[in-house]
Structure 1
Amino acid sequence: VAVDFGTSTMLVAVRTSEEDPDPTIPIGDVDPWMPSLIGVDDQGEFQYGEAAERLRPDQVVPSIKTLLGANEQTVDIGRQGAGGPPPRIDDLIQGLFEEALHQARARAGPDVRPYLESGFKVHLCCPANWTAEPRRRLGEIAKRAGLKASPDEIVDEPIAAGVSWVMGQEGAGEVPEGRTLVFDYGGGTLDVAVLEVARPDGAAHPEITVLAADALLYAGDSLDERISDDLKPSLTSSGWSGEQDEVEKNQLTLRAARDLKHALTDTDEAVVRIPGFDRPVPYTREQLEAAFRPQLEKAMEFVFNVIKMSMAREHHADYGLIRSLEEERLADEIHHILLAGGMSRIPRVSKELGLRLHERFVVDPGLVDPEKSVVSGLTFKDAVSGLNLHRPGFGFIAEYLNAQGEKIGEQVLYEAFSPLYKKYEPFTQLTDLGVRVNLNPPADAHSVKIICRDILDQEVPLRLEGQDTNGIPLELALQHSYQSPQFFKLFMDGRIIVSAKHHVRFWIPRWPFLRDGLAAEVRAQTEPPRPRLWDNITLPEDLTGVVDPGQMVEGVLSGPNPNGQWHWRPLDGTGTSIPVPPALVDPLWTSADKVRLRIR
């Protein structure tokens, strides 16, 4: 059972057989979906879906999902409840869920209807850039609406669309091996993912690894506003009936812009009538494409950034090389392009993707409508549960213990579903990508235990080298002024480094959905020292002539400072620090316990 709560539309689906090409239950009067609209009528009653669509624009919240993603708590709706408090966003979305389920139960066939009752597991989805808190809230909303949903298993929308296509192709006997770029262009976000599909020997289903997924808050709603701006100069004051204020005129024009955008997917010219305006309003595809051009260029730039992120997910990726790659080389990484979401219907989208990525695009052939791809993918229970994700769906916590082993504090090192890099950081920094946090133990802490917790703050089991454990205990070092800080670093490829009294490395090869007590597999890692030869490096005067030829001097690195400079300092604290020439900086220095410098 699946519910796709989108920015513009809401869909419900139940898959009773993997051979079912289209599990969607039609919940709209005209389309298989209903609008994700919430409004309030003149009597102060809340209306949902198509009933809200019939209200005046100033009585409607058109993109409430965007507010949830931004972690807003309340919203003002038009002229509702002038003297009362604004309604809670979570309560309004709960009402939308309840209306969608009511329509689904009323219209589903007798063999499907029982699965829509309370108690059946439901998969939900969200934009690829949602972090833990909006996911937790969405899971709680669904639960209050009578659904059994786990916020830890809420799937990124482009990933679900990719699952739908991969599983549909498998049913047709054609597993699309290689890398698929999913381009899910909806109302509120452009979601892009790169999936790697393989068919291991003896496996019942293809293995789907998510190499990258992200969302851009610049999609269908933004184009509606651009078209609306195009229309306004022709909507002279003399053409209006005079009953509308400026707010209502703007909202009516925005609704007309949305209708024109949809109409021009199939024709070169369209006309729309705006309530209260005395003549029809024309718009052409040429005007649409001109309005869309700057937005599409940003979308393509975003696509190539996500492809770079997918390459950075590979174990020990060469970030310097990835940063330097041009579009032509990046396009070679992609073998298939999948279109999903209503905005992908605009002809210019598929044309531009095919031109820049040198591949023909596909739309899920079993669904006809690209709007159905996400909800369909959510209904493949085993494929969704078996995904290898691109980031952890659980958090890492440092529990600090005193000499008696008693917990005396804790520190969040990584929050579930947080990005493992800052926007555009993969391509502007010299160091390895990942989240680095300095350990901040209490003064009397003797040791630290690294544990994992899910969105609901429940502890996640770990399996270290085949042995179940509830955490990884490490001894803390006594800090000295000349020592590098103790730290935790989580890399994009699953490597983990903890620098405490000792320097330890781990690797988590898969980021799965941890359900039903499933443990995260953790492997210990060892790396041999990596020598580096520096020639003709000028030494500070206080070392020249003091160090004997061939003598080994051990030291530690610090950096980079705000200017990007690294320094090396002898471990015993004597002498001055030596600046390291930028050309010799090695990304692995951030994960080194110590660096040995031999001076000859």
Structure 2
Amino acid sequence: MAAEHATGIDFGTSTSLVADQVGRLPLEIVPIGHSTTWLPSVAAVFGDTLLVGEEAEDQPANRIIRSAKRAITENRKTLRIGNVEVNADKVIVALLREIARRAEAAGQPLSDAGEVRLGCPAMWTGDQRERLLKLAAEAGFPVTGASLIDEPIAAGVAWATHRFYQPGKRPHGKLLVFDMGGGTLDIAVLDIAGRDQPEISVLSALGSAEAGDTLDRAIVGQLALMLAKRGIVIGDLPNPHLVEALLLNAAREAKIRLTSAESHRVLTRGLDFPELIYTREQLVEAFRPQLDRAEAHIFAALRSAKMTETIPLPDGGTRTHSPEELRRLGPDGLINEIRYVVLVGGMSRIPYVGRRLGALFPKAEVFDTTSVAPEEAIVAGLANTTEYGRLNLHRPGFDFILEWDSGQEVIYRAHTPLYDPWQAFSMSTVYYDWRAAGSGCPRQGVGRLRVRSITGETVKIRINDEPRDHLKIRLGEPAAFRLYCDGRIVITDGRGETGSLRVDRWPVIHSGNFAELVLKRVAPSQGHGREPDWGYLQKEWAPPLPKR
């Protein structure tokens, strides 16, 4: 379903942006900075007052709070400024309120937006996403459980849309999005198809908490060594916290300057330190280990994407790639399937990023822009009014809940990875697994399996064109629930009877008009037992099924 009007908000670790689009009119980046389109995502404590944005940046370095968004990524409740701790949620709400206030001052109040979308890292769990939604609602954002979109997916949508509607530029095939911002590295693998309009399937999306902040700290380490060679040891100084804060500022400035220069004079304002010359070669040296680790995440995303593929069998059934097969598949077998690479996020401006990704994907077209600059790609995708109705996800963005007369249990939490990384390196098959044995659900009776958004709205289910709001399941110790990477759901009831359902891809849940979860009955794969008649099991009085 296309949105008539959408407003995207990219609450970033370093900067925040707002974009707005009405119908198919050109996208508008809403200027929310004093002299830029973006708002610095920084805060500062000044007495009893919490300052945000440019006003915060003007404060002494040891009073500034940077990267507040990382508190959600790292599940922290407080942020430290020197020896003082402040409430992280309070800081985030203040930043979000300022975003809303400035958007309204620029002529785009969020209350008038047809649909508001917020970006979040692909690695965030359902609990982390729900935390941001609660804080955004507290700040006055009109958000629902449908408001959050993975940041690399939004960037991929922005690129695919821009290219698809250009004459002779219509892309088809696999796209890898490499999104490195201030706080996280996010990687998504998308498949683009379609004739008149792009149809985008998300094959995988994952991330890590290593991005711009990590590089800044590595640069600070280099600067500290350069100072130590001149007899200045930071740990021996009277106020090392202030010195480290000032060096972090100097590191960020050097990183930015070296995107276009070969060397940079490091001036530590406020400190009587000698001038240091920091070079692009040193920046690459600091960055190389981090990009080595980033390449490992890229291959993990590529292997994860392969697990969503179905392989036809001679008997008419299908199977998926096993982890063992993918372990045997060399890098070339994964890399050669990628036709396009898009670099987004502020860190993509560093030339070394483009060189590394270009060398890694020699047969792919590598882009460092969509229709906007790399740091604006996410917000442009969030404000897209046309493509999310045709976007398929790779894992559920909603909860599966098992209810019974006296209680309920979340048996799958939205956005939970379907397997742990170690399983892909050691097991012959991987899946998400919940079992009644060891859970708190009753050992007899009938339960109801429902699907809900992370903010509590019910998602309708459709099985073989029959609409339902829940699925009844006999309770008992054998009951189990499995999710596979190819969209297969295998449910075992309390008597050990097993049924298989499949979704082609997990849908985006749309605000105000939640998409249905469309499933089809499928024959059980070998080793999963036989499939019960789900319609038959809707009868609570049904006697045991006859043995086949």
2: CA distance, partners of 1:117 / 1:449? 37
1:34 aligns with 2:39: yes
Residue number in structure 2 paired with 1:404: none
Q: Specify the alignment match of 1:206 in structure 2.
A: 198
**Partner residue in 2 for 1:163:** 157
Amino acid across the alignment from 1:18: R
**2:503 matches 1:511:** no
State whether structure 2 residue 7 is matched by structure 1 residue 13: no
Does the Cα contact within 8 Å between 1:461 and 1:520 map onto a contact in 2?
Answer: yes
- 1:146/1:386 Cα in 2 relative to 1: closer, same or farther (>3 Å)? farther
Is it true that 1:260 corresponds to 2:254 in the alignment?
yes
The 1:292/1:243 distance shift into structure 2, 3 A limit, reads: closer
Q: 1:363 aligns with which of 359, 368, 371?
A: 368
Q: Judging changes above 3 Å, is the alpha-carbon distance between structure 1 residues 272 and 352 closer, same or farther for their aligned structure 2 residues?
A: same
Of the three residues 529, 537, 545, the one matched with 1:592 is 529
2:442 and 2:98 map into 1 onto residues whose CA distance is 55
Which residue matches 2:224?
232
Q: Which amino acid aligns with 1:35?
A: P
| Contact 2:461-2:468 at 8 Å conserved across structures | yes
Alignment-derived partner of residue 316 in structure 2: none
Name the SS of the counterpart of 2:117 in structure 1: coil
SS state at 1:11 partner: strand
Aligned-residue offset at 1:378:
0.5
What SS class does the counterpart of residue 382 from structure 1 fall into? coil
CA contact (8 A) 1:120 1:148 kept: no
- Counterpart of 2:420 in structure 1 is 422
Superposition deviation, residue 255 in structure 1: 1.2
Contact 2:482 2:489 in 1 (8 A): yes
* Aligned counterpart for 1:306 among listed residues 301, 309, 314: 301
Q: Find 2:140's aligned residue among 146, 152, 156.
A: 146
Report the CA distance shift for 1:473/1:76 in structure 2 as closer, same or farther (over 3 A): same
Tell me the amino acid that sits aligned with residue 195 of structure 1: L
1:216 and 2:208 are equivalent in the alignment: yes
Name the aligned partner's letter for residue 14 of structure 2: S
Match of 1:289 in 2: 284
**Aligned 8 A contact 1:121 1:147 in 2:** no
Quick one: distance in 2 between partners of 1:439 and 1:77?
A: 46
Inter-CA distance 291–517: structure 2 relative to 1 (3 Å threshold): closer
Q: In 2, Cα distance between the equivalents of 1:219 and 1:194?
A: 19
Three-state SS of the structure 2 residue aligned to 1:124 is strand
Measure how far apart 1:88 and its partner are. Answer: 3.1
Q: How far apart are 1:130 and its partner, in Å?
A: 0.7
Partner of 2:484: 491
Q: How does 1:50-89 map to 2 (within 5 A)?
A: 50-78=54-82, 87-89=86-88
- Per the alignment, residue 482 of structure 1 pairs with none
Using the alignment, how far apart are the partners of 1:156 and 1:444 within structure 2? 38
Q: Residue 23 of structure 1 aligns with which residue?
A: 28
Secondary structure in 2 aligned to 1:32? coil
Does residue 1:398 correspond to 2:395, yes or no? Answer: no
Among 390, 393, 401, the alignment partner of 1:389 is 393
Q: Helix, strand or coil: the match of 2:392?
A: coil
What SS does structure 1 have at the residue aligned with 2:21?
Answer: coil
Q: How does 1:234-249 map to 2 (within 5 A)?
A: 234-235=226-227, 245-249=239-243
Supply the distance in 1 between the matched residues of 2:232 and 2:101 (Cα, whole angstroms).
Answer: 41
* Alignment deviations for residues 188-227 of structure 1 (CA, whole Å, 9 cap, x no partner): 1110000111115xx5x21111000001111111111111
**Contact 2:224/2:233 (8 A) holds in 1:** no
More strand by share: 2
Amino acid at match of 2:432: V
Partner Cα separation in structure 2 for residue 413 and residue 491 of structure 1: 14
- Give the structure-1-normalised TM-score: 0.79
| Alpha-carbon distance in structure 1 between the residues aligned to 2:371 and 2:441 | 58
Residues of 1 paired with 2:410 and 2:110: CA distance?
38
2:356 corresponding residue in structure 1: 352
Where in structure 2 are the equivalents of 1:569-584 lying within 5 Å?
A: none
| Closer, same or farther: CA 447–104 of 1 in aligned 2, 3 Å | closer
For residue 264 of structure 2, give the secondary structure of its aligned residue in structure 1.
Answer: strand
Q: Check the 8 A contact 2:348/2:368 in 1, yes or no.
A: no
Which consecutive residues of structure 1, in runs of 5 or more, have no partner in the other structure? 81-85, 401-406, 480-484, 529-587, 595-600
Give the paired residue count: 505
Query: CA separation in 1, counterparts of 2:135 and 2:356?
Result: 38
**CA distance in 1 between partners of 2:441 and 2:218 (Å):** 54
Question: Which residue does the alignment assign to 1:464?
Answer: 463
- 1:194 counterpart = 2:193: no
Contact map agreement 2:122 2:152 (CA 8 A) in 1 = yes
Whether 1:99 aligns to 2:103 is no
1:314-338 deviation line (CA, Å, top 9, x unaligned) = 2332213222111111111100000
Alignment of 1:270 onto 2:249: no
8 Å CA contact 2:23, 2:385 repeated in 1:
no
Distance in 2 (CA, whole Å) between partners of 1:444 and 1:291 is 57
Which amino acid in the other structure matches residue 394 of structure 2?
A: H
1:393-450 deviation line (CA, Å, top 9, x unaligned): 11112224xxxxxx1443321111111111243243112x211111247555223322
How far is 1:99 from its partner?
1.7
Q: Distance in 1 between matches of 2:112 and 2:158?
A: 25
User: How big is each residue's C-alpha offset from its partner over 1:157-181, in whole Å with a ceiling of 9 and x where there is no partner?
Assistant: 1001111111111232322111100
Aligned to 2:546: none
Q: Which has the higher contact order (CA 8 A, sep 6+)?
A: 2
d(CA) in 1 for partners of 2:295, 2:246: 31
Asked if 2 retains the 8 angstrom alpha-carbon contact of 1:447 and 1:473, the reply is yes
Deviations 1:270-323 (A, max 9, x none): 112111134322101111111111111111111011011011112332213222
Measured in 1, the distance between the counterparts of 2:37 and 2:396 equals: 34
Distance 1:424 1:354 in 2: 29
Asked if 2 retains the 8 angstrom alpha-carbon contact of 1:239 and 1:277, the reply is no
Residue 117 of structure 1 deviates from its aligned partner by 4.2
What is the alpha-carbon distance in structure 2 between the residues aligned to residue 474 and residue 17 of structure 1?
Answer: 44
The aligned amino acid for 1:172 is Q
Residues 59, 79 of structure 1: 8 Å contact kept: no
Q: 1:127 Cα shift?
A: 0.4
Q: Is the 8 A contact 1:135 1:151 kept in 2?
A: no
Partners of 1:354 and 1:206 in 2: CA distance: 25
Using the TM superposition, give the Cα deviation of residue 32 of structure 1 relative to its aligned residue in structure 2, in angstroms. Answer: 2.4
- In structure 2, distance between residues paired with 1:243 and 1:434: 53
Q: What is the CA deviation profile of residues 511-562 of structure 1, one whole-angstrom value per residue up to 9, with x for unaligned ones?
A: 112231432112111147xxxxxxxxxxxxxxxxxxxxxxxxxxxxxxxxxx
Q: Which amino acid aligns with 1:318?
A: H
Displacement, 1:114? 4.6
- The structural deviation recorded for 1:152 is 3.3
Output the amino acid matched with 1:122.
Answer: V
Cα distance in 1 for residues equivalent to 2:490 and 2:185? 33
Aligned amino acid, residue 435 of structure 2: N
Q: CA deviation at 1:69?
A: 2.3
Question: Are residue 4 (structure 1) and residue 3 (structure 2) matched?
Answer: no
- Displacement of 1:350: 1.1
Q: Who is 2:175 aligned against?
A: 180
Q: Tell me the CA shift for residue 124 of structure 1.
A: 0.3
Match of 2:434 in 1: 437
Could you tell me how far apart the structure 2 residues matched to 1:442 and 1:259 are?
55
Largest Rg, 1 or 2: 1
Q: 1:151 to 1:60 in 2, by over 3 A?
A: farther
Structure 1 residue 385: deviation in Å? 4.2
Percent of aligned positions that are identical: 33
